[in-house]
Structure 1
Amino acid sequence: MMTIFNDTILKAFRGEETDYTPVWYMRQAGRSQKEYRELKKKYSLFEITHQPELCAYVTRLPVEMYDVDAAILYKDIMSPLPAIGVDVDIKSGIGPVIDNPITSLKDVMKLGTIDPVSDVPYVLDTISLLTKEQLQVPLIGFSGAPFTLASYMIEGGPSKNYHKTKAFMYSEPKAWFALMDKLAEMTITYVKAQVEAGAQAIQIFDSWVGALNVTDYRTYIKPIMERIFRSLRENNVPLILFGVGASHLIKEWNDLPVDVIGLDWRLSIKEARALDVTKALQGNLDPAFLLSDWEIVEEKVKQIIDEGKQHPSHIFNLGHGVTPEINPERLKQLTTFIHEYSKR
């Protein structure tokens, strides 16, 4: 494997002191880059991810453009689902759409298992290309978490309230836990394959689990997440957990065997520490700030960095992903400022 010349972010993930605050951005690959938009005129997301050379290029592009301290593999949390029998399509302006939503235990039992080498070889080939030949920063692999994946599988696509998902969870507990088991096994197998191919850190996106209250999280989700992270710990790479609108679950997450908790903008780093959160923290600039004047951005970024430096482990990121409206030059400017300001 290629030597990583800049391992600053791995040190921060592990809770070690660093010379500056490292930074990467969720959805940094694509979205607002003109090079990516040109590619998207020719190829769909799934078509890009099925071509390792092209996918590696998209993954590498923001590292070269913005000078961030990590790459994150370009793919979608839906990428492993076709292997287990889920008919999913990413539709422009909508997101993932699933034609065969889960409605019963019978549907759950039809789901198969994933063999990454035969089912998603292009993902592993992309990782291998990047880590052996192309990157000089660590590569972050990722997967969706069971609740978030299940929400798409039950709702049939994106949802604002997750009513179908929660109703299924409450009224069909046997089917729910069977689904969680299947998705946990898929996640473990899929992530371990990414690490074995060369990924040096893993982020688990439980993007929509904030829809649950604390009691339901403890009952229906936390045991599954414990199982996933305990298994992934065996691979000895940093593990990050992130969700949107999940500030009320922060103490539950702090109990899990993860290294890093990603915060959205609803809970500050200072507030998280006041709740006795001991993990390394990642975040948490609201992406909307990047559409403001630079002076406004700078003031907020200073506040986040200053709060982060009160504890040895902070990784700068956005509170959610890069949006299409954000100017790539602003991301480059932001990265430079984070590096320079945090060195003081």
Structure 2
Amino acid sequence: MVGCKEFPPLKNDNLLRAARGEQVDRVPVWVMRQAGRYLPEFQEVRAKHDFFEVCRTPELACEVTMQPLRRFDLDASIIFSDILVIPQALGITVEMHKGVGPVLPQPLVTPDDLERLNTTGSIDRLKYVGDAITMMRHMLDGKVPLYGFTGAPWTLMGYMIEGGGSKTMSKAKAWLENYPEASTKLLNLLTDQIVDYLLMQVKAGAQILQVFESSAEHLSKEQYLNIALPYLKRIRDDLHKKFDEEGVTPVPMTLFSKGAMHSLTEQAQTGYDVIGLDWTIDPEEARKLAGPNVTLQGNLDPQDMYKSPEELRELVLTMVRKFGKHRYIANLGHGITPQTPVESMSVLVQAVHDAL
């Protein structure tokens, strides 16, 4: 593992400064799924290689991670990977089906299926992510910071029980109801895996982390506060304990719970440095709920990226001015969608940098 001292010095640290609540030269911007299907050069790589082959091959993962940075003046990169690499490392088959998305052909059906999960050596089986991060830090040559990331426990549990994405999460929610002990056991197991996985990413060179609780939208406020948030807080706390024990310099952490804007105040009290927002909340309301001591990230509706360049620019300028320059990272409120015009990314990035 390459030590951080051997990496090229960072030239643009605006995003890390924003995450820490320090002054910035300009509002930083990056986009969830910025290395993705809206880019023709990404499509070219995918035409030759399976999705998970790209994830597992550091050279390919770095190439697609780099693609948006060649086109746009972004303030961060995010390693190309997938949240479902953790279930894979635990022995669950995950396939990416064209037009469908991820499919897990042998989902968890009853508590007995937890016996199938193999935690021994699971983080070693994810070494390819660490290798890609280390390679990427050198390729970036200090241009911008590099995000590492993970799926969150409830979101991963949902995929593992539903057998893929779900509009209702009915099977996963039935587990919470019918198998409360097994659900707790699974959420604890995933939390432990996530902590070790994030630690490995930081040791490999990740400079900031994001935890994706993308399926928070399926939980009521009460469920979110009881089923999701305690594990999200434990990820943050346990990871900081490990940083301390192993002499690893802590990096900023971002929590993104899509559809849980009802609990922003509680999220802001978890110790995460940055709270990601979806597009359903107004910037001023978000700031009021979250308070002054966390950085906010977001929150343009990905659908707005289909508007005319003039309309899009106005929306972005308004959004950034509402959030203000302090403790703010511009982004979308969820991932960029595959049909988004490439030009919209240029408009977004330029407007963010012009706004203040």
Shorter chain as normaliser: what TM range? Answer: over 0.9
Counterpart CA distance in 1 for 2:71 and 2:353 is 15
Counterpart CA distance in 1 for 2:262 and 2:237 is 23
2:256 aligns with 242
Q: In the alignment, does 2:192 pair up with 1:169? A: no
Counterpart CA distance in 2 for 1:280 and 1:28 is 21
Instruction: Pick from 265, 273, 289 the counterpart of residue 304 of structure 2.
Output: 289
Instruction: Pick from 29, 37, 52 the counterpart of residue 31 of structure 1.
Output: 37
Given residue 301 of structure 1, which amino acid in structure 2 is its aligned partner?
V
Q: In the alignment, does 2:191 pair up with 1:146? A: no
Counterpart CA distance in 2 for 1:294 and 1:332 is 9
Q: 1:295 to 1:39 in 2, by over 3 A?
A: same
Given residue 141 of structure 1, which amino acid in structure 2 is its aligned partner?
G
Structure 1 portions without partners, runs of 5+: none
Given residue 250 of structure 1, which amino acid in structure 2 is its aligned partner?
L
Q: Is the 8 A contact 1:184 1:228 kept in 2?
A: yes
Q: In the alignment, does 2:343 pair up with 1:329? A: yes
Q: 1:153 to 1:8 in 2, by over 3 A?
A: same
Counterpart CA distance in 1 for 2:162 and 2:116 is 18
Q: 1:99-118 counterparts in 2 under 5 A?
A: 99-113=105-119, 115=121, 118=124
Instruction: Pick from 326, 350, 355 the counterpart of residue 312 of structure 1.
Output: 326
TM-score, structure 1 as length reference: 0.95
Instruction: Pick from 58, 71, 82 the counterpart of residue 52 of structure 1.
Output: 58
Counterpart CA distance in 2 for 1:312 and 1:115 is 42
Q: 1:104-253 counterparts in 2 under 5 A?
A: 104-113=110-119, 115=121, 118-135=124-141, 136-234=143-241, 235=243, 236-253=250-267
Instruction: Pick from 86, 95, 99 the counterpart of residue 92 of structure 2.
Output: 86
Counterpart CA distance in 2 for 1:203 and 1:276 is 18
Q: Is the 8 A contact 1:78 1:149 kept in 2?
A: yes
TM-score, structure 2 as length reference: 0.92
Relative to structure 2, which stretch is displaced further, 199-208 or 84-93?
A: 84-93
Give the secondary structure class of the aligned counterpart of 1:175: helix
Counterpart CA distance in 2 for 1:172 and 1:121 is 33
Counterpart CA distance in 2 for 1:103 and 1:336 is 48
1:16 aligns with 22
Q: 1:177 to 1:23 in 2, by over 3 A?
A: same
Give the secondary structure class of the aligned counterpart of 1:241: strand
Q: Is the 8 A contact 2:254 2:276 kept in 1?
A: yes
Q: 1:248-263 counterparts in 2 under 5 A?
A: 248-263=262-277
Counterpart CA distance in 2 for 1:275 and 1:30 is 32
Number of positions where the alignment pairs a residue of Structure 1 with one of Structure 2: 341
Q: CA deviation at 1:337?
A: 2.2
Instruction: Pick from 285, 289, 310 the counterpart of residue 275 of structure 1.
Output: 289
Q: 1:228 to 1:51 in 2, by over 3 A?
A: same
Given residue 247 of structure 1, which amino acid in structure 2 is its aligned partner?
M
Counterpart CA distance in 2 for 1:171 and 1:339 is 50
Given residue 264 of structure 1, which amino acid in structure 2 is its aligned partner?
D
Counterpart CA distance in 1 for 2:290 and 2:273 is 15
Give the secondary structure class of the aligned counterpart of 1:255: coil
Deviations 1:155-201 (A, max 9, x none): 11111111111111122110000000110011111111010000000
Given residue 9 of structure 1, which amino acid in structure 2 is its aligned partner?
L
Q: CA deviation at 1:251?
A: 2.0
Q: Is the 8 A contact 2:89 2:125 kept in 1?
A: yes
Q: Is the 8 A contact 1:11 1:17 kept in 2?
A: yes
Counterpart CA distance in 2 for 1:277 and 1:150 is 31
Counterpart CA distance in 1 for 2:161 and 2:123 is 27
Counterpart CA distance in 2 for 1:224 and 1:110 is 22
Relative to structure 2, which stretch is displaced further, 230-239 or 115-124?
A: 115-124
Given residue 337 of structure 1, which amino acid in structure 2 is its aligned partner?
A
Give the secondary structure class of the aligned counterpart of 1:99: coil
Q: Is the 8 A contact 1:114 1:186 kept in 2?
A: no
Deviations 1:237-269 (A, max 9, x none): 110111322211222211212010111110121
Q: CA deviation at 1:117?
A: 6.0
Given residue 109 of structure 2, which amino acid in structure 1 is its aligned partner?
T
Counterpart CA distance in 2 for 1:117 and 1:108 is 18
Counterpart CA distance in 1 for 2:112 and 2:90 is 15
Q: CA deviation at 1:9?
A: 0.3
Give the secondary structure class of the aligned counterpart of 1:143: strand
Structure 2 portions without partners, runs of 5+: 1-6, 244-249
